[in-house]
A = this chain, B = another copy of it.
Amino acid sequence: MSPTVPRIVMKFGGTSVADLDRIRAVAEKVRKQVEAGCEVAVVVSAMSGVTNRLVGYCRDLSATHDEREYDAVVSTGEQVTSGLLAIALQKLGINARSWLGWQIPLRTDNAHGKARIESIDGTALIESMRAGQVPVVAGFQGIGADGRITTLGRGGSDTSAVALAAALKADRCDIYTDVDGIYTTDPRIVTKARKLDRITYEEMLELASVGAKVLQTRSVELAMKERVRVQVLSSFTDGPAPSEGHLPGSLVVDEDEIVEQEQVAGIAYSRDEAKVSVRQLPDRPGIAAAVFGPLADANVNVDMIVQSTGDDGMTNMTFTVGKTDLARAISVLESTHATTQYAELQTDDSVAKISVVGVGMRSHAGVASTMFRTLAERNINVQVISTSEIKVSVLIAAEYTELAVRALHAAYGLDAA
């Protein structure tokens, strides 16, 4: 009852609850927190593979299935896990009960299949926790204004957990996954990659959007907006002992919480983009709109953009699109030829985007020049550059990806000792 009892939300993804043994292991992890004196609410995903099977059923029956029925079907995965985990917790002597979206209620809009959370009534859950019970909430689901079950879209359980942590005014939202935290880069490429103890929301968003698929972007945006402290942890290991001075996972927090800010938090890469060059366009006002307007209308996302103008009254546009959008982008651009009158259209899907991310670069000069110098020393040609306040990205030939990531990781002093 004391206001100083820490309150945490623990979220377990599909691989963490893949079978009954793992569900039992999750129950043990929850018990540890309860025995440590925390008030705990748990959010669970479907057992891994279940959601895909249910989605497959719906698609098989009708390519254009009713999203409201899809939601009724697919939401059962999390319902099963929440009931099973409640049973596993009770077996350990812990008072627990399952909660479905409509029981809380967790209200969403009516955009079935990809609903947005509108409000969460935390009253019943808080009462339950104060009475010593652990609520086990089915993630990924809510109830629409139409009184029917909604789902939040793939990966929505992370968002459920963060939103719930905000509604419950939790001290922390722990996301248990199959990795033990956020790394300075992909450990499969750089063996000396280090786990970050702390990372800011902004950095996490940049890292997530360029390839580090640990947390769903929406959940990080929500955490940033609601100032929810998110910890990423492995559900399979217990991490280093606290005595070593390290956190068991990575904490995604506000910048204020990070005292010693490194210039660069991490190096990310993506091989999911393709380069498009539209050459020899007439350099007149409105030419950029003539190129990019139709692409936007066709729902093609354009990322890095460079324009270079020559002395001949002509200009070149180079940009990247998602590889899966490339064919559509070409067809849209060809259809604009009557107005854009370009001389040539070139594409290259053997490219990689390498990004250096860190809030520290706001106050540290030279981050970009270190990047360019490091790549030049390895004879890696930079094709396109784009920058944001906390990120520098370059486009290079895909074959240099590993070399570039390793060289940059070392150059920014990120290699583990």
B62, B71, B83: the one contacting A73 at CB < 8 Å is: B83
Shortest CB-to-CB span from A27 to chain B, Å, is 9
Shortest CB-to-CB span from A223 to chain B, Å, is 28
Say yes or no: B102 contacts A87, CB within 8 Å: no
Number of identical protomers: 2
Q: Is the interface of A mostly helix, strand, loop or mixed?
A: helix
B62, B65, B69, B84: the one contacting A58 at CB < 8 Å is: B84
Given contacts A61-B24, A72-B98, A79-B76, contact A66 B84 (CB under 8 A): no
Given contacts A69-B97, A102-B102, A103-B147, contact A80 B76 (CB under 8 A): yes
Interface 1/0s, chain A 300-326, versus B by CB < 8 A? 000000000000000000000000000
- The contact size tier of chain A is 35 or more
A66 to B20, CA, bound (A): 16
Shortest CB-to-CB span from A68 to chain B, Å, is 7
A35 at the interface (CB under 8 A from B): no
Interface 1/0s, chain A 45-85, versus B by CB < 8 A? 00000000010011011100110111111001001101110
A291 at the interface (CB under 8 A from B): no
A72 to B103, CA, bound (A): 12
- Give the interface of A toward B (CB within 8 A): 20, 23-24, 54, 57-58, 60-62, 65-66, 68-73, 76, 79-80, 82-84, 86-88, 90-91, 97-98, 100, 102-103, 147-149
A-B contact pairs, 6 of them (CB 8 A): A20-B60, A65-B87, A71-B83, A76-B79, A79-B79, A103-B147
Known: A61-B84, A70-B87. 8 other contacts (CB 8 A): A61-B87, A61-B88, A65-B90, A69-B84, A69-B97, A73-B80, A79-B79, A103-B148
